[in-house]
Structure 1
Amino acid sequence: MYQKEHFQYKQTIVTILADKAEFIEIAKDEILKNRLIIENYIAQNPFFEVTLEGYDLDEKAPPMIQKMIEAGNMFDIGPMSAVAGTIAGAAVEKMKDSGANFALVDNGGDMAIYNNGYKNGNKPLVVGVYAGNSSVTDLGFSIEPSDDILGICTSSGTVGPSISFGKADAAIIFSKNLPLADSAATALGNALKEEGAENIEKALSIVSNVEGIDGAVLIQGNDIGFVGNVPKLMKANVDYDMITKG
């Protein structure tokens, strides 16, 4: 049985799961710590928060800020496109380093997962897909146990409050690089400007050869497209009430 907590601080709204309650507290502390780093940097560099284009790499910035800049610059979008995935990834990494065998932080659809089945016999984890009014329903990805932290980041032009300039119901990226996964999901969602399977294929091409991205899924209406190494898709009971939202 996993411990679970819904946690909110300012704009950060997360669901945290862990094999022990102590790791949830560790995750919350790490989230607050990393939010403070970002807030302090923005206070000195306001353009970092608002730009929707690439940002000059700042070698004097904290490492986390540099990772966000690098991730956004891969797709010529702003570094804040990586913020949710970066915070989720940092929290799960801290949980792992503190001894957790299972840790998950869902930061509004940008999720970091550590499921070390080799130590405690964890089974595959099913992560449900929510794509708004799309006909793609009751499906989930089977995530095999691993020694690595996996990022699953999602962007949508039809679901949630995040900025998107595209028409995707769900643009999903799989990567061990959480900042990259988050920015890539935003870029993939932005790339889908028109409906149709041919446009899904075209949009997926922007992430298909990016180093560090394992796979991607793009959903719009009745259509779904895949590229790269995507976890097994299976039937799942997707409970809307389980989705992290404000």
Structure 2
Amino acid sequence: MIYLIKTHFEIKETIVTILADSDLFIEIAKKELAAGRFIVENYIAENPFFEVTLEAYEPDPSAHPLICRMIDAANTFGIGPMSTVAGVIAEAAVLKMKEAGATVAVIDNGGDIALYNAGTKPLVIGIYAGKSNVRNLGFSIEPSSEILGICTSSGTVGHSISFGISDAAIIFSKNVALSDAAATALGNALKEQGKENIEKALDVVKVPEIDGAVLIEGNDIGIWGKVPKIVKANVNYDLITKGE
């Protein structure tokens, strides 16, 4: 049986929950999260427009690979690269944990999750859709040798920029940076209530490398692609990773 350790960690605006099967991997995650922030902060210091633009950013082959990954993912949807920052930093940290020998490694960076589950049992990730009546449900994530991105954007929850009205726009992809960008794009796409508008919004994320998507607004849910099994879950909303 694998016993998991859960830790809350904050560094400046980055507020995360880390889950792993050893304290060693928790410390690796903290170090890598700090390193990721340092890379992004340094690039912004030299390229301030990178932080504020909400549109596609000119590729920069000379930049650090993490920065290039952010730009590539965001440009897929024509949005600003900072839309990917939580996912890409979480992904880099989970990759380091995996390389160090972790069996289970999860980082929830404000609702943008990088998950590696090479254990023997599924992990259940709860769904948080604010004031929506969609509650106490989760996704059952089966064991896999690959890292999975589960990223969420919302027009009604949290402080991140969204130009839509969704309670939760959830994306699944093995490219966590792309998952993060797609969640933002999907959330932006839903401007009006109604099942037909949800279906139309989902068209935005039907691109290569996106496995599946779930879009929740009020009592309505739209699902596209390959989505993990949805199960009943006792979701403790006080434990959700979020800032003040």
Q: Same fold (TM over 0.5)?
A: yes
What is the match of residue 227 of structure 1? 224
Give the counterpart of 1:104 among 103, 106, 119: 106
User: How big is the shift at 1:239?
Assistant: 0.6
Residue 81 of structure 1 is matched in structure 2 by 83
How much does 1:195 deviate? 0.3
The two structures have a TM-score, normalised by structure 1, of 0.97
1:238 to 211, 235, 238: 235
2:15: which partner in 1? 13
Per the TM alignment, residue 158 of structure 1 is displaced from its structure 2 partner at its CA by 0.2
Q: SS state of the match for residue 205, structure 2?
A: coil
Distance in structure 2 (CA, Å) of the matches to 1:88 and 1:63: 15
Partner of 1:195: 193
RMSD: 0.6
Q: Which runs of 5+ in 2 are unaligned?
A: none
The alpha-carbon deviation at position 230 of structure 1 amounts to: 0.3
How far, CA to CA, are the matches of 1:6 and 1:237 in structure 2? 20
Question: Could you tell me which residue of structure 2 aligns to residue 90 of structure 1?
Answer: 92
Equivalent residue letter for 1:174: F
d(CA) in 1 for partners of 2:82, 2:71 = 8
Aligned to 1:143: 141
Alpha-carbon distance in structure 2 between the residues aligned to 1:78 and 1:160? 18
TM-score normalised per structure 2: 0.98
Percent of matched pairs sharing the same residue: 69
CA deviation profile, 1:52-73 (whole Å, cap 9, x unmatched) = 0000000100111001001111
Determine the C-alpha separation between the residues in 1 that align with 2:101 and 2:84: 26
Number of paired residues?
241
Distance 1:30 1:176 in 2: 19
Moved over 2 A (4+): none
In the other structure, the counterpart of 1:66 is: 68
Deviations 1:106-150 (A, max 9, x none): 000000111102xxxx31011110100101111101100000001
Instruction: Could you tell me which runs of 5 or more consecutive residues in structure 1 were left unpaired when the two chains were aligned.
Output: none
**Whole-Å separation in 2 of the counterparts to 1:33 and 1:73:** 24
Which amino acid is 1:198 matched to?
E
